[in-house]
Amino acid sequence: MPECEVLRLGHRPERDKRITTHVALTARAFGATKIHINRSDSRIVETVSDVSEKFGGNFVIETVSNPKAFVQSWEGLILHLTMFGVPFGKRLGTIIKSKEPLLIIVGAEKVPPWVFEHSDYNVAVGNQPHSEVSALAILLSNINPEGYNQTFEGGLLEVIPSSERRNMISKK
């Protein structure tokens, strides 16, 4: 999988804090290295940073003050995840083979036209309204099939898979 980052566009702190947190945690769990949000929200930064500290990994969350300039300066492939796009499977081979860094744009509200114009691919996980969290998980799991099974180094806790009970160990 190419190096992958996510841009959460349109985060509304009063309304989207849980969904944006879930977008960030999904990005982390499925192999992205960083998420950029375009509106500062200390609660999300704290939650995501806390999860990374507890469970490991080097996932970064940062605020981008000018998302359009950020997208325009991106050196790599830009993928806009939208229900109005073409089925992502039609672009999957090209995305997986790319060695360029990948930026996945995930909107929270109606995105401005420049997002469609500046994206290399406008792709959909289905063309019906649904959760951007589930769409991101499906997309990333197809780009990086082993991503959900990766090891995160440096965490304080480790989940021990079990079909019978909750099982974690402390690595302190």
What pLDDT is attached to residue 40? 80
- Average pLDDT over every residue of 27-42: 91
What pLDDT is attached to residue 12? 66
Domain range for residue 126? 4-170
Six-digit token string for 88:
């992502």
pLDDT band at 2 (very low <50, low <70, confident <90, very high): confident
Asked whether the predicted pLDDT for residue 14 surpasses 70, the reply is: no
- 107 to 40, 42, 53, 110, 125: CA distances (angstroms): 16, 19, 27, 7, 14
The CATH number of the domain holding residue 63 is: 3.40.1280.10
Which residues are within 8 A (CB) of 90 and not within 5 positions of it... i.e. 6 or more apart? 123
What pLDDT is attached to residue 161? 87
**3 state DSSP class of 143:** helix
Asked whether the predicted pLDDT for residue 11 surpasses 80, the reply is: no
What pLDDT is attached to residue 71? 97
pLDDT tens string 124-171: 999 998 889 999 999 999 998 877 677 788 999 988 888 999 998 898
Range with the poorest average pLDDT among 37-51, 64-78, 93-107: 37-51
Q: What is the Cα–Cα distance from 24 to 154, expressed in whole angstroms? A: 19
Q: Bigger pLDDT: 65 or 151?
A: 65
Total domains, the chain = 1
Map 61-128 to HEC letters.
EEECCCHHHHHHHCCCEEEEEEEEEEEHHHCHHHHHHCCCCEEEEEECCCCCHHHHHHCCEEEECCCC
